[in-house]
């Protein structure tokens, strides 16, 4: 019996030394989303064929690149983020990180149908999903729709 008591004592000391770390509350969890990326591209295209957006809590940055570069120089535009929009986007982004949708859906940019992607950057790095242009998978449709609405809010006033 002494070896059993010794084993129990060791187990008790081991467990007594462990700390329980609480799960982060909603505000802490929401700080995991640092940047939301969204973009579209077309492989067989002349003109501005690649557009990428970076959405943060404070700004929206659009970078457009084109071909040929001599006649279509890179264009960068920055707008302020609507403070009411960021919490909605962040909630979708957190769900995206939890769900971890597939990396690729369909055949993006096949036969010049174009491609779109959504990417979320957090402290552990980025996670990206790419899909056929205009055809977000069902799991991404609400997030895609929210991004589109936010972008329309800044693009419609000045193009």
pLDDT tens profile 31-71: 578 999 999 999 888 899 999 999 999 999 999 999 898 89
| 5 domain residue, yes or no | no
User: Does 15 fall in a domain?
Assistant: no
What is the CATH classification number for the domain harbouring 117? 3.30.1560
Mean pLDDT of the chain: 82
Residue 74 forms part of a structural domain: yes
Let me know if residue 7 belongs to a domain. no
Tokens of 153: 């809010």
Task: Check pLDDT > 70 for residue 20.
Answer: no
Q: What is the pTM of this model?
A: 0.76
Q: Is residue 13 part of a domain?
A: no
- Answer with the residue of higher pLDDT: 6 or 93: 93
Domain of 115, in residue numbers: 25-158
Domain assignment of residue 19, yes or no: no
Q: Is the residue at 50 inside a domain?
A: yes
Number of domains comprising the chain: 1
Residue 83 has pLDDT above 90, yes or no: yes
71 Rama sector, left if φ>0, alpha if ψ -120 to 50, beta otherwise: alpha
Distance CA 37, CA 41 (A): 13
pLDDT of amino acid 124: 80
Q: Which of 31-35, 74-78, 114-118 has the lowest mean pLDDT?
A: 31-35
Instruction: Give me the residue label for tokens 């279509």.
Output: 72
- Strands 35-41 and 47-55 turn out to be antiparallel
Give the pLDDT band (50/70/90) at residue 122: confident
Would residue 67 count as lying in a domain? yes
């Amino acid at each position: 019996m002494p070896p059993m008591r010794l084993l129990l004592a060791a187990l008790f000391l081991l467990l007594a030394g462990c700390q329980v770390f609480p799960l982060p509350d909603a505000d802490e969890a929401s700080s995991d989303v640092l940047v939301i990326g969204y973009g579209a591209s077309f492989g067989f295209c002349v003109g501005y064929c690649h557009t990428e957006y970076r959405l943060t809590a404070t700004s929206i940055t659009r970078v457009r690149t084109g071909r040929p570069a001599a006649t279509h120089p890179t264009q960068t535009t920055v707008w302020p983020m609507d403070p009411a929009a960021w919490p909605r986007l962040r909630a979708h982004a957190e769900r995206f990180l939890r769900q971890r949708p597939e990396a690729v859906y369909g055949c993006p940019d096949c036969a010049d149908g174009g491609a779109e992607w959504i990417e979320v950057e957090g402290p552990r790095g980025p996670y990206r999903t790419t899909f056929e242009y205009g055809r977000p998978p069902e799991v991404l449709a609400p997030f895609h729709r929210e991004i589109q609405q936010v972008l329309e809010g800044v693009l419609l006033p000045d193009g």
